[in-house]
């Protein structure tokens, strides 16, 4: 299912069709595919072929926030960019930092780099 979704999303062996890709990613997600769930999160976050929907993106990322480094890192990025659907549109660096730390401990190399950068810049009230 996920492979078929990828083919439609990227246009491998067929014409790009985001509607079909989302359809097959949803089917794969319902069968327990982590990859499909995270692909859907990114699609909804970026609004690729669908209207951007941060609530939906966050929901999909949160499904794997205890085990998947990319999901945890992405939640941190959402907080850093002020894209938390429950927030006020401003960055929440304290929450972002906590998610980056968690992603780091789950093995995310991107989180290692982000944490190093934050230590260099500092975060008022968190890292000074």
Model's pTM, two decimal places? 0.91
pLDDT band at 125 (very low <50, low <70, confident <90, very high): low
On the question of pLDDT at 22 being above 80, the answer is yes
pLDDT band at 105 (very low <50, low <70, confident <90, very high): very high
CB atoms within 10 A of CB 84: 20
pLDDT at position 40, please? Answer: 97
pLDDT tens per residue, range 46-83: 999 999 999 999 999 999 999 999 999 999 999 999 99
Give 96's contacts (C-beta < 8 A, 6+ positions apart). 76, 77, 79, 80
List the structure tokens of 103: 């992603």
Give the residue-averaged pLDDT of 2-30.
95
pLDDT at position 99, please? Answer: 97
């Amino acid at each position: 299912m996920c492979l078929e979704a990828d083919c439609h999303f990227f246009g491998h062996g067929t014409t790009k069709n985001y509607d079909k890709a989302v359809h097959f990613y949803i089917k794969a997600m319902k069968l327990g595919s982590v990859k499909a769930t995270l692909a859907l999160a990114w699609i909804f976050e970026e609004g690729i072929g669908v209207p951007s929907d941060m609530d939906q993106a966050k929901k999909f990322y949160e499904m794997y926030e205890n085990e998947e480094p990319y999901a945890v890192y992405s939640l941190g990025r959402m907080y850093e960019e002020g894209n938390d659907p429950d927030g006020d549109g401003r960055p929440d660096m304290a929450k972002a930092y906590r998610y980056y730390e968690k992603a780091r401990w789950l093995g995310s190399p991107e989180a290692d780099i982000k944490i190093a950068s934050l230590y260099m810049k500092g975060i008022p009230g968190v890292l000074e």
